[in-house]
Chains A and B, each alone.
Chain A
Amino acid sequence: MPMELRPNPVTPSGALPLLILRVLHSGSLHGYAIAQRIHVLSSEVLAIEEGLLYPTLQKMLVKGWVASEWGVSETNRKVRFYRLTAAGRKQLESEMQSYDRVTRAIQEILRTA
Chain B
Amino acid sequence: MGELFRRIRYLIQRRRFDAELAGDMEFHRQMAAREGRGNFGNALRIEQQAREAWGWTWLDDLVHDLRYACRTISRSPGFSLIAVATMALGIGATTAIFSVIDATLLHPLPFPDAQQLVRIEDDLPGIAVSDVGISIPEFWDLENSGIFQYVSLNGGGSVNLTGSSQPARIQFEPVSPTYFALLGVKPELGRTFDPNDRTPGFTLEVVITDGLWKREFGGDPHILGRSLRLDNDTYQVVGVMPPGFRDPGQTPGERSTDLWAGAGFAADPAPDPVRGSRLSLGTIARLKPGLTLASAQSRLDALVAALKKQYPADYPAQTEWTVRLAPLSESVVGNLRQSLLLLFAAVGLVLLIGCVNVANLVLARASSRSREIAVRHAMGATRSRLMRQLLTESLLLSILGGIAGLITLACIKSLLLGMIPESFPRLNGISLNWTVLGFALALSIAAGAIFGLAPIRLTGELDVMKAIRQEGRGSTGSADRAHARRILVVTEFALSLVLMIAAGLLLRSFWQLFKVQLGFRPDRVLSVQTWLPEPNDPRTDIYRTATQEATLLREILRRNASLPGVDEVAVGDLAALPLGHGRDDLNMWPFMREGHETQTSQAPLVETAIVSPGYFHLLGITLLRGRVFSDQDVETTPAVAVINEAMARAFWPNEDPVGKRFKLRRRPNWITVAGVVADARTESPSQAGIPLIFLSIYQFRGKDLALFLRGQVDSSAIGDQVRAQVQSVDAELPVFGAQTLDSVLSDSLSPRRFSLQMVGLFAITALLLAGLGIYGTISYVVGEQTREIGVRLALGADRRAILTMVLGQGLRLSTAGAAAGLLGALIVTRLMAGVLYGVSPVDPTTFVIVTLVLTAVALAACYLPARRAMKVDPLAALHYE
Q: Is the CB of B41 within 8 A of A61?
A: no
A54 B31 Cβ-Cβ under 8 A: no
Task: Report whether A50 and B54 are in contact in the complex, using a CB–CB cutoff of 8 Å.
Answer: no
Inter-chain CA distance A55–B31, complex, in Å, is 19
Whether A51 pairs with B41 at a CB distance below 8 angstroms is yes
Q: Is B46 within 8 A of A51, CB to CB?
A: yes
In the complex, are the beta carbons of B27 and A32 less than 8 A apart?
yes
Question: Given A31-B27, A32-B31, A50-B40, is A58 in contact with B53 using a C-beta cutoff of 8 Å?
Answer: yes
| Interface membership of B555, Cβ < 8 A | no
Q: When the two chains form their complex, are residues B27 and A30 in contact, meaning their CB atoms are under 8 A apart?
A: yes
Can you list 22 residue pairs at the A/B interface with Cβ under 8 Å?
Answer: A30-B24, A32-B27, A32-B28, A32-B32, A35-B28, A50-B25, A50-B40, A54-B24, A54-B25, A54-B28, A54-B47, A54-B49, A54-B50, A55-B46, A55-B52, A57-B50, A62-B6, A62-B55, A79-B23, A79-B24, A80-B23, A87-B2
Are B27 and A62 within 8 A (Cβ)?
A: no
A84 to B6, CA, bound (A): 16
Contacts of B31 in A (CB 8 A): 32, 75
**Are A64 and B27 within 8 A (Cβ)?**
no
**Would you call B313 an interface residue if the criterion is a C-beta within 8 Å of the partner chain's C-beta atoms?**
no
Instruction: Judge whether A104 is part of the interface by a CB distance below 8 angstroms.
Output: no
How many cross-chain pairs have Cβ atoms below 8 Å apart between A and B? 69
Given contacts A31-B27, A50-B32, 15 further A-B contacts (CB under 8 A): A32-B27, A32-B28, A51-B41, A51-B45, A53-B28, A54-B25, A54-B28, A54-B46, A54-B47, A55-B52, A57-B50, A58-B53, A58-B54, A62-B10, A79-B27
Q: Is the CB of B49 within 8 A of A51?
A: yes
Q: Which of these, B2, B10, B21, B32, contacts A54 with CB under 8 Å?
A: B21
Given contacts A32-B28, A50-B28, contact A61 B6 (CB under 8 A): yes
Interface string of B786-816 (1 = CB under 8 A from A): 0000000000000000000000000000000
Chain B interface (Cβ within 8 Å of chain A)?
2-3, 6-7, 10, 20-21, 23-25, 27-28, 31-32, 40-42, 45-47, 49-55
Q: Is the CB of A58 within 8 A of B23?
A: no
How far, in angstroms, from A61 to B51 measured CA to CA in the complex? 11
What's the least CB distance linking A96 to chain B, in Å?
22
Min Cβ gap B330→A in Å is 54
Q: How far is the CB of A63 from chain B (nearest CB, A)?
A: 7
What residues of A have a CB within 8 angstroms of the CB of B21 in the complex?
54, 58
Which residue of the partner chain B has the closest CB to A79? Answer: B27
Interface residues of A (CB under 8 A from B): 30-32, 35, 49-51, 53-55, 57-59, 61-64, 68, 73, 75, 77, 79-80, 87
**Contacting pair A31 B24 (CB below 8 A):** yes
* Closest Cβ–Cβ distance, residue A62 to chain B (whole Å): 6
B27 engages A77 (CB within 8 Å): yes
- Who on chain B is nearest to A47 by CB? B37
- Give bound CA distance, A87 to B53, whole Å: 18
Contact call B40/A59, Cβ cutoff below 8 A: no
Q: How far is the CA of A50 from the CA of B335 in the complex (A)?
A: 73
Tell which of B3, B23, B25, B54 touches A64, judged by Cβ atoms closer than 8 Å.
Answer: B3
Are the CB atoms of B49 and A55 closer together than 8 Å?
yes
Q: How far is the CA of A112 from the CA of B54 in the complex (A)?
A: 44
Closest to A60 in B: B53
Query: Pick the contact of A49 from B3, B24, B41, B54 — CB < 8 Å?
Result: B41
Closest beta carbon of chain A to B873's beta carbon, Å: 64
Residues of A within 8 A of B40 (CB): 50
Chain A residues within 8 Å of B25, by CB? 31, 50, 54
Q: Which residues of B contact A57 (CB under 8 A)?
A: 24, 50
The answer to whether A80 and B7 touch across the interface, beta carbons within 8 angstroms, is no
Q: Closest approach, in angstroms, between the C-beta of A69 and any C-beta of chain B? A: 11
Are A31 and B28 in contact, with the CB atoms below 8 A? yes
Alpha-carbon separation in the docked complex, A77 to B27 (Å)? 9
Closest to A53 in B: B28
Q: List chain A residues, Cβ under 8 A from B20.
A: 68, 80
